[in-house]
Amino acid sequence: MALDEVYQRNLHHRTHRAGWLRAAVLGANDGLVSTASLMIGVAAAGKTDFLLTAGLAGISAGAMSMAVGEYVSVRSQNDVEESDRLLEIEHLATDPEGELIELQHIYIERGLSPELALTVAQEMHRKDPLAAHLRDELGQHPHTKARPVQAAIASALSFTAGGFIPFLGAFAPTLGTKAWSIVGFTVLGLVITGILSARTAGSKVLVPTLRVIIGGCLGMLITAGIGKIAHISGI
C-alpha cells in the first residue's frame, strides 16, 4: 500500500478530533442545559420580567466560564506532558542503556520476542529515542496533543450556540407558561447535539443521543422544582 493511501485511511479515524470534540460537545450541552435550567427556574419562580435578562446573562457568563475553565484545564494537561518530556530527556542523557532496556520490555509486553523487541528498540533509539519513549512509554502523540486555545474557543462558541436555543424558546408562542416553549426548544437542541456529537465521533446515534436528552431533561426538571419551591416560599 502506498504512503498516500495509508495517510488517507488514517484521516478516517476520529482520534485527532478528541480534544476539540470533547470541548464542543460539553460546551453545547452545557449551554443548552444551564441556560434552559436558569430560564425555567426564573419562569417557575414567577419572575418572567427577568426571563430574557437572565437568559442573556447566563449565556454570556457561561461562555466565558467555559472558555476559561477549558483553557486552564487543557493547559494543565500540556504542563504535565511537558514535564514528562523534560524528565524523559534527562533519563536518556543520564542512562541511555537503561532507557533502551525499558523500551525493549515495553515491546515484549506488546507481544514481540525479546530478540526482536531489542532490535526494534535499538532502531528506534538510532532514529529518535525521545519520540519513541514519548510515544510508546508515555502515550504522547502529536495528533492527540492537548490544544488549550482551540479547546477554549470551541467550548465558548458551542456554549453560546447551545444557549441561544432555549433563549429563542422564550419568544415562541405558547398556550401556557414560557417554560414549556423553552423546554420544547431545549429538547430539540439536545436531540441535535446528541446526533451531531455521535456522527462526528463516528459512533451509533441512539445511545449517545438518549444519554444527552435524559441528562438535560433531568437538569431542567430539578431546576424547575427549585424555582417552584422558591415561588411558593416567596423568595
Cα angle, residue 204 at apex, residues 15 and 144 outer, rounded to 5°: 10
pLDDT 10s digit of each residue in the chain, 235 long?
A: 433 443 344 444 444 455 566 667 778 888 888 888 888 878 776 666 778 888 899 899 999 998 898 899 888 888 888 898 999 999 999 999 999 999 999 999 999 999 999 999 999 999 999 999 998 888 887 766 768 888 888 888 989 999 999 898 888 776 556 778 888 899 999 998 888 777 776 778 888 888 888 888 888 888 777 767 765 555 5
What is the C-alpha separation between 55 and 53, in angstroms, rounded?
A: 5
- pTM value is 0.68
Please check whether residue 16 is in contact with residue 144, taking contact to mean a CB–CB distance below 8 angstroms: yes
Measured between alpha carbons, how far is residue 18 from residues 3, 59, 140, 186, 220 in Å? 24, 25, 14, 25, 28
| Three-class DSSP category at 102 | helix
Contact 210, 194 (CB under 8 A): yes
- Asked if residue 204 lies in contact with residue 198, where contact means CB atoms within 8 angstroms, the answer is yes
Q: Is 106 exposed, middle or buried (0-12, 13-18, 19+ CB in 10 A)?
A: middle
